[in-house]
Amino acid sequence: MEIESATQHKGACGRLKALPSRFKAKLITVAKSIKKLAQDDPRRIIHSLKVGLALTLVSLLYYVRPLYDGFGVSGMWAVLTVVVVFEFTVGQTLSRGLNRSFATFSACALGIGAKHLASLSGEKGEPIILGILVFLLAAASTFTRFFPKIKARYDYGILIFILTFSMISVSGSRVEDLLEMSYQRLSTILIGGAICIIVSIFVCPNWAGQDLHKLVASNIHKLATYLEEFGGEYYQNCSENEEEGCGGRDVSKNDKSFLQGYKSVLNSKNTEESLANFARWEPAHGRFRLRHPWKQYLKIGALARQCAYKIESLNVYIGTSDTKVSPEFHGTIQEVCMKMSSESGKALKELASAINTMSDDPFSSANAYVESSKTAANELKIALESASLNNVDIQAILPSATVASTLIEIVSCVEKISEAVHELSNLAHFKKIKEANVSPELSKQPHNLLHRGSVIPVLDGDSNHVVITIDHEKTDNWPENDQNPKGPNPAGRRPQV
């Protein structure tokens, strides 16, 4: 017994001693994750400070005597409005602020009307009629929130409408100065909303439209990176391990980021849709006009997802299949498959660059790459027709054949993306740069410089903003000899990194 209790005592002591070090470790983990959150997107820190600023500004209402005398306790509605309305992007803040203001106004008007109507039926009937009105209006308004279109744009407004109507009509049965109350509520909400909108727009604004624009471009860029690297990686492994086949276990074990980057594209639908929804509320900013074709981004996003599904099946297939590959057949199609993959990758990179720079300039080379990938797909068909494989083991050609046919699908998908980006260029009036007397080969060089590094947005769960970090690693590998001082495009001058 004594030994046991001694052991227990020792254990307890150990635990006590271990506690501070564990606590320290926990603290370090938290600090690291805070640092990572801030580094992933420094706008998060700025947003936090902006919320603090807006809240401190609205608190002034309480310290400026004339304002306090005007509003009194109602001043808290302004504080409440700032906390509830201030969101990460300008569009979301505007959407909530305008929804809240209009809903409060209409609910106040309707509430006073309802109160007047109820007062006609005497003191006993009043609460009953008001109760019935509140019930009916709340039930009807709640039901309208199920309409997908209304939910996307006016959900918050309807919530505030129910809230204000109930508060006005219910409290109206006690407080006599309803008009005064409505006026105070509305004006304090307008003050709070105005502070939010002003701080949101004029202090380091985060535009939802810009986020959507960058997200779509970077999603295409991710697909491009995968496709550009895929051919080299897959077929290189094949030729290195010919006796093993290129079932791709080597590829899947190489934990290269280009194999994972496209995965975030698969689940980008909700983020894109909510960003497009908020972008519609935003005023003209930068090169985005008031009626910028946000819907077109959703179309491009959907096509990019289609392409990502194909890459997913390609990737999973390579990762899991371990069938031995026929080197003979493989050799026949290797070159043309690599070409298909890399040319469509290059085309997508040019398209991403066209979106990023909002310029028609990269289109000429994008079109050339699309054409080149289509030519490669046709070459593949010819190669397959002319391939004289007698006594072929179909099982041995199955993996290569599947990869080839998936690549053919990807080529046609890239063509569709290209068409959609061209359409966007027309709708959004991309910069048109005259390219007379410039050969496609020359025009390719300059804008390649525009998309140095890779854009890696971090999708943040179900939050409605996107983190976009620029990865400058690749600039180290930049071909220093590729200088083209006579480039036709001033954007072609190499930035001094």
Subset of residues 170 to 199 that bind a copy of itself, contact rule: CB under 8 A: 170-171, 173-175
Q: How far is CA 260 from the centre of its chain?
A: 17
d(CA 117, CA 111): 10
Strands 466-471 and 454-459 turn out to be antiparallel
Q: Residues 67, 70, 84, 117: which binds a copy of itself (CB under 8 A)? A: 84
User: Which helix (H) or strand (E) covers residue 125, if one does?
Assistant: helix 122-144
Complex with a copy of itself: residue 149 or 253, whichever CB lies closer = 149
Q: Residues 7, 8, 39, 56: which binds a copy of itself (CB under 8 A)? A: 56
Complex with a copy of itself: residue 461 or 495, whichever CB lies closer = 461
d(CA 60, CA 397): 75
Asked if 29 interacts with a copy of itself (CB under 8 A), we say: no
Q: Residues 8, 48, 239, 257: which binds a copy of itself (CB under 8 A)? A: 48
Q: Residues 392, 472, 475, 493: which binds a copy of itself (CB under 8 A)? A: 392
How near is the Cβ of 34 to a copy of itself at its closest, in Å? Answer: 8
Asked if 442 interacts with a copy of itself (CB under 8 A), we say: no
Subset of residues 271 to 300 that bind a copy of itself, contact rule: CB under 8 A: 273-274
Asked if 79 interacts with a copy of itself (CB under 8 A), we say: yes
Asked if 331 interacts with a copy of itself (CB under 8 A), we say: no
Complex with a copy of itself: residue 385 or 473, whichever CB lies closer = 385
In 414-478, the DSSP E strands lie at 454-459, 466-471
Complex with a copy of itself: residue 288 or 294, whichever CB lies closer = 294
Complex with a copy of itself: residue 33 or 239, whichever CB lies closer = 33
Size of site (CB under 8 A) for a copy of itself = 92
d(CA 227, CA 283): 37
How near is the Cβ of 38 to a copy of itself at its closest, in Å? Answer: 8
Complex with a copy of itself: residue 134 or 347, whichever CB lies closer = 134
Asked if 475 interacts with a copy of itself (CB under 8 A), we say: no
Q: Is 110 helix (H, G, I), strand (E, B) or coil?
A: helix
Q: Candidates 101-109, 263-271, 292-300, 472-480: pick the segment binding a copy of itself (CB under 8 A).
A: 263-271
How near is the Cβ of 251 to a copy of itself at its closest, in Å? Answer: 16
Place of tokens 């697909």: 223
Q: How far is CA 360 from the centre of its chain?
A: 23
Asked if 371 interacts with a copy of itself (CB under 8 A), we say: no
Q: Candidates 205-213, 218-226, 354-362, 457-465: pick the segment binding a copy of itself (CB under 8 A).
A: 457-465
Cα Rg of the chain, angstroms: 31
Complex with a copy of itself: residue 301 or 487, whichever CB lies closer = 301
Number of Cα atoms under 13 Å in the Cβ half of residue 44: 18
* SS3 annotation, 161-201: HHHHHHHHHHHCCCCCCHHHHHHHHHHHHHHHHHHHHHHHH
> Looking at the chain, how many residues does it have?
497
Complex with a copy of itself: residue 408 or 433, whichever CB lies closer = 408
Complex with a copy of itself: residue 87 or 361, whichever CB lies closer = 87
CB 57 within 8 A of CB 50: no
**Residue 40 dihedral angles phi and psi, to the nearest 5°:** -55, -40
User: Token pair of 492, please?
Assistant: 């072609």
Burial of 153 (0-12, 13-18, 19+ CB in 10 A): middle
d(CA 230, CA 259): 8
Asked if 136 interacts with a copy of itself (CB under 8 A), we say: yes
Q: Residues 242, 409, 423, 435: which binds a copy of itself (CB under 8 A)? A: 409
Subset of residues 138 to 167 that bind a copy of itself, contact rule: CB under 8 A: 138-140, 142-143, 146-148, 151-152, 159, 162-163, 166-167
The full DSSP string for 315-353 is: HHHHHH--PPP-HHHHHHHHHHHHHHHHHHHHHHHHHHH
Q: Candidates 96-104, 105-113, 168-176, 340-348: pick the segment binding a copy of itself (CB under 8 A).
A: 168-176
The full DSSP string for 264-286 is: HHHT-HHHHHHHHHHHTTSPPBT
d(CA 475, CA 481): 13
Which of 194, 313, 312 is closest to 260 using CA atoms?
Answer: 312
Asked if 111 interacts with a copy of itself (CB under 8 A), we say: no
Q: Candidates 68-76, 253-261, 288-296, 362-370: pick the segment binding a copy of itself (CB under 8 A).
A: 68-76
Q: Candidates 78-86, 94-102, 239-247, 471-479: pick the segment binding a copy of itself (CB under 8 A).
A: 78-86
How near is the Cβ of 103 to a copy of itself at its closest, in Å? Answer: 11
How near is the Cβ of 47 to a copy of itself at its closest, in Å? Answer: 7
d(CA 406, CA 419): 20
How near is the Cβ of 476 to a copy of itself at its closest, in Å? Answer: 31
Asked if 106 interacts with a copy of itself (CB under 8 A), we say: no
How near is the Cβ of 304 to a copy of itself at its closest, in Å? Answer: 14
DSSP one-letter code for 293:
-
Asked if 27 interacts with a copy of itself (CB under 8 A), we say: no
Cβ neighbours for 430, distance < 8 A, ≥ 6 positions apart? 354, 358, 359, 360, 424
Largest CA distance in the chain: 99
Q: Residues 390, 477, 481, 496: which binds a copy of itself (CB under 8 A)? A: 390
Q: Residues 63, 122, 202, 290: which binds a copy of itself (CB under 8 A)? A: 63
